[in-house]
Amino acid sequence: MLESLARTLAEYPILTLFVVIGLGYLLGEIDFHGFRLGVAGVLFVGLAIGSVSADVALPEVVSTLGLIIFVYAVGIHSGPAFFDSFRRQGYRNSLLTVVVLLFGAGIALALGYAMQLGGGRAAGLYCGALTNTPALAAARERIRDAARSEGLPEQQVRAQSDQPVVAYSIAYPIGVIGVLLSFHVARRFLRMEVPPPEEPPEIGVRDFVVKNPGVIDRKVSEVLGLHKEVGFVVSRIRHDGVTDLARSETVLHEGDIVVVVGDDEALERAQQIFGAASDARIELDRTILDYRRVFVSSKQVVGKRIRELDLQNKLAATITRLRRGDVDIVPDPNTRLELGDWVRVLSRRDNFPAVSQFLGDSIRGTAETDFGSVAIGMVMGVMVGMAPIPLPGGTTVSLGLAGGPLLVALVLGKLEHWGRVTWVMPASANLTLRQIGLLFFLAGVGVNAGYSFVETLRTSGLQLLAAGAAVTFGVTLATLIVGHKLLKIPFDAMMGLMSGVQTQPACLAYANSQTKSDAPNLAYASVYPAATIAKIVIAQLVASWR
């Protein structure tokens, strides 16, 4: 029965892929005393199915493609916030990353000395416990070059350069499992709790009577231009008993009533600008001016700033609110529209057909994206990941097929728009791509590592498994304690930061399942480049140890 199953799975890799994904999802939903694997369950089902036979495997392109899609989607989404946060705390996070990775190297070297592993296996232990394949490749290259410089036969060169692989294959799975268990231990026993998600400020509407002498007889655009960021939108204005759309060229007169849309802080600012609050509530009168929610799906408007659309003059309409993903925001003239944005438009009722046609108003826009720009971005990311980076001593390293696409996506996400190319994606399309990529990556890695992991564990892997666990738990717990307890970094951000230290998407997926905030993604992206480069360099230093 088992042999027949193994034969079927080996013959039909596509069947294996979806069996792993389906069963992995079911496993991830099981509650183990408050601990759930979530999407990481796919990895463990993959390990189990891969252990059935050496012939059961998935094409390497499955995990590679999944990894590129996942990190690219994360980078595009996190780009703007990443660069903003890096100015405030990125250097601190990167420094913490390098310090804990050096600490992990110290543990690996100490265990290598005690177990007489030698530099090669110690380096493999380090790379596997911290789940970084580019670092393993760099360590093997350093060992191979050193062996050839000593004039050793090619067969012996290959044998020495393969030493890290054994330790790596044993330590890699525990490098994932150990981090997930550490997150659970930190929450349950070290009392590190995920903070409740920050509720976005509630957007409201308030009327004001124009009384401030500084704004009387001035245009709306002039008044708002005096302030860098007002944070509100002036939607309507009543003059001499007649309510009309507030345009940028509208002149404010004493006694006019203006309707302002914004959060509490912005509304307080509006009162200081215009004058006293009013109980008129003219926004409740929808006989002439009305509002409607419209989806942004037209390629003619996507990527453009609201001021470039000139809706007030072209369509006698104005955008008062914008919903992107799950968040409502008050737009300003510099806000760029994205596919899938859901905007509230104020206009006359007979204008709504023209407004809908202009903006698109197709719900398909919430899921569609420009896959041409996605493909171009991924190509650039792969090229950056493959580019050699010279290091002292004449060696070169690369960011790999994870680091390159992530860095490029962060930059493109910050740019948002380049000429006629829109880099950003609708939130729903981004989440869907991210999930598909992660599933492919976890399934591919799990299935292809399953058999070698179990076989090595049966023969000689218990000591290496324990050593790998020591490195993983040592680095993870040290990072969590120092970051959360000493540096006061919120625990949701710490889980993302630790996932970045580990350069492990499976850990990030678990972190995201534990919180509704975007803090794990931002922290992951902020330290991933530093972690990748640091591990590549440190692994080579460990491999040089004799």
Residue among 456, 478, 530, 510 nearest 177 (CA): 510
Q: C-alpha angle 238/242/245, rounded to 5°?
A: 60
Least confident of 12-21, 319-328, 485-494: 319-328
Residue 73 CB partners (closer than 8 Å, separation 6+): 409, 425, 430, 431, 433, 434, 437
Contact (Cβ atoms closer than 8 angstroms) between residue 465 and residue 480: no
Instruction: Give the pLDDT score at 129.
Output: 92
Residue among 430, 536, 479 nearest 71 (CA): 430
pLDDT digits (tens, 9 = 90+) for 308-319: 898 888 889 999
**Mean pLDDT taken over the chain:** 84
Percent pLDDT > 90 in the chain is 25
Instruction: Give the pLDDT score at 335.
Output: 87
Domain residue extents for the chain: 62-196+399-415+434-543
What is the arithmetic mean of pLDDT over 64-72? 85
Instruction: Give the pLDDT score at 471.
Output: 95
pLDDT digits (tens, 9 = 90+) for 100-128: 999 999 999 999 999 888 888 899 899 98
Label residue 205 by pLDDT band (50, 70, 90): very high
Instruction: Give the pLDDT score at 1.
Output: 67
pLDDT digits (tens, 9 = 90+) for 288-330: 888 999 988 887 888 788 988 988 888 899 999 998 877 788 8
User: Residue 398: in which H helix or E strand, if any?
Assistant: none
pLDDT of 162 strictly over 80: no
pTM of the model as a whole: 0.67
Instruction: Give the pLDDT score at 85.
Output: 63
pLDDT of 52 strictly over 90: no
pLDDT digits (tens, 9 = 90+) for 367-421: 667 788 889 999 999 898 888 877 666 666 667 777 788 888 888 988 877 877 8
Contact (Cβ atoms closer than 8 angstroms) between residue 69 and residue 436: yes
Instruction: Give the pLDDT score at 86.
Output: 62
Contact (Cβ atoms closer than 8 angstroms) between residue 491 and residue 19: no
